[in-house]
Structure 1
């Protein structure tokens, strides 16, 4: 059994970030149900205020569905320049406490404060101080989760949302995970949740009762992940420099497309955007993926890995064309996307398997 040092990890997650920025900038929107994005006929909601969430409005929901759930919903255009401006201010606050900051998106990040610039031994107090400083400097609310690893910290940050925090110290980790509904486990989506329920796995305790062999048999490669995290084992460190894994562009159409010729016209434009983004990021990729969302909302991806790196539109288009005609369309199409992965900025790393750990149970947290 390997002994590893206890880490003090904070996951900070802004509350309804895009919507909160819009409400902050426009006092008339405060206290009202608003959705950022999604106003067009085929639009998708990027974020919803808590007032809108009470009606069931969620991000990634179609604007039409959101309107049906909440007839009084106010749609607001996205303003990513403004969101990035706030995100930079928030990130600068993080760096006042530690250089070990791993952003996940504009509105959330992991912080390793085991050793921090303030010399504060309490990760709980640091999280509270960070949240107060974010409120003071931006006017926005943040929630936080604090624990011994990234997985538990992320799960914990949802417990007391909005504008709250939850600490899971080492001695409470197992009990916390055992009592948790599996749908709250990070990495368990709607489909996996239903599958787990069918297998009689409703709580962390139920999950912990299944063997590694059982979980691997029924949940594939993810089985080992579930087996370890429910035991509090998640050895991924906070990585200050996150390497881009893929680069993509996609388009949702105002009218469904049923002709491959029309699809190729759209894919030409999308490939041009991908080429531009590759050039801006100074990367190239080997694996080209075509994303197709049909009119019935089913999603399909088709991929091809080239023997060399590419970042040129012509080669991307030729590959995507092959993928498009790989099989006939089953329905008309509402969305097309192209992504490149297996990028040349990825360094090959040896994956260290998860191993049991011994931890010191009493620690100032």
Structure 2
């Protein structure tokens, strides 16, 4: 029988700030994506006691908890701690899956006995997290025979606690698990299930499969039945098993709407620069380029395909900006995104002679930016503009870039 551990760092962003700043310890803390942002992206345990949750706006957070301390996120700090966390997990198993910035799965079927059993291993992992990451970084752990139940158990475990799923307690855990703690059942699926009167896993288990198939199709109809029974055979996906990146993207939501053409142009150029930087770090280039704009309840998305692969920010921006100009956009802009797809390895491409000089230049620029920080050298379009800097998505949407290319891990 498989033995799987799911380890989850509690209230990670907020706990990391409390660990770094003793003045924040024991006090309600809300993390903002950046200074001036209006949405809480993480809350400390102390803030959660007042009802402050991820996604709450600042006004509501202050209403619920007037004494809350708002702190801008420090993504470089979180990256460093995540690296340490992954390395610690790797000391207990050679089969580790990085699920998100603060969550890992470990297959310990063959290694648990080295540490005196699964429970002993989990306790040792918790102890190492406290030693290496700090006393304010808590870690909840779930132990089960599959990933689904291990993650569910860590969510139901006491803060900084360990919960092992057994034949004795499995049914009761499934009965009391809210859908928010069930991997695979998100917000939209929860609403659709509620529309059928299904609000718990036992209700899904008891529902006729024909109803599930009729409403959710052959895949999800059967998958929901399996989930409701705690069945899961998904493998641990180690870093070397990650599929090659299919696309690279970057999106950003402005603090407030803008109609300033210079700001909109600079934002798109900024997002393109980060996207092509990721491409070059992975040794890739692409030939399909897309852009999306939203604002004032209006939105436009479009893409263009080139005959040749590109990884030069200026050339990619020309493609992106051509699409944007073609729209004659007249509304305020609140959100912008760019993406690059149809990716190919640069090593497999024959480069035009006129690109060879740029191919020699970009490694030098990237090396400087890698050492001193992205946008140490930056496009002239961004002069006197507020630069949007890289952020780490909590669920590591760009896992191939973050993990394969050793930014994290």
The alignment's TM-score, normalised by the length of structure 1, stands at: 0.78
Of 148, 159, 164, the residue aligned with 2:161 is 164
RMSD: 3.4
Are 2:337 and 1:337 equivalent residues in the alignment?
Answer: yes
Aligned residue in 1 for 2:388: none
Of 231, 254, 258, the residue aligned with 1:233 is 231
Larger Rg: 2
Q: CA deviation at 1:212?
A: 4.5
Q: Is the 8 A contact 2:152 2:177 kept in 1?
A: no
Deviations 1:126-160 (A, max 9, x none): 21221122123332210011111111111111102
Q: CA deviation at 1:334?
A: 1.8
Gaps of 5+ in 1: 1-5, 346-365
Cα distance between partner residues in 2 of 1:313 and 1:51: 44
Give the match's secondary structure for 1:158.
helix
User: Cα–Cα, structure 1 residues 322 and 209, in superposed 2: closer, same or farther, change >3 Å?
Assistant: farther
User: Cα–Cα, structure 1 residues 337 and 223, in superposed 2: closer, same or farther, change >3 Å?
Assistant: farther
Gaps of 5+ in 2: 346-409
When structure 1 is superposed on structure 2, of 143-152 and 251-260 the one drifting more is 251-260
Cα distance between partner residues in 1 of 2:164 and 2:220: 26
Of 64, 69, 74, the residue aligned with 1:79 is 74
Q: Is the 8 A contact 2:33 2:73 kept in 1?
A: no
**Bigger relative contact order (CA 8 A; separation at least 6):** 1
Paired residues in the alignment total 338
Q: Write the mapping of 1:303-342 to structure 2, written as runs, cut at 5 A.
A: 304=303, 311-313=311-313, 316-317=316-317, 320=320, 332-340=332-340
Cα distance between partner residues in 2 of 1:62 and 1:292: 23
Cα distance between partner residues in 2 of 1:71 and 1:136: 33
Deviations 1:271-298 (A, max 9, x none): 12211122123234576554555456x9
Q: Write the mapping of 1:231-310 to structure 2, written as runs, cut at 5 A.
A: 231-241=229-239, 242-243=242-243, 245=245, 246-258=247-259, 263-284=264-285, 290-294=291-295, 302=301, 304=303
Give the match's secondary structure for 2:70.
strand
Structure 1's consecutive aligned runs of 4 or more residues displaced over 6 angstroms after TM superposition are 325-331
Q: Is the 8 A contact 1:44 1:60 kept in 2?
A: yes
Cα distance between partner residues in 2 of 1:331 and 1:216: 43
User: Cα–Cα, structure 1 residues 190 and 256, in superposed 2: closer, same or farther, change >3 Å?
Assistant: same
Q: Is the 8 A contact 1:19 1:49 kept in 2?
A: yes
Q: Is the 8 A contact 1:145 1:154 kept in 2?
A: yes
Give the match's secondary structure for 1:206.
helix
Cα distance between partner residues in 2 of 1:105 and 1:130: 18
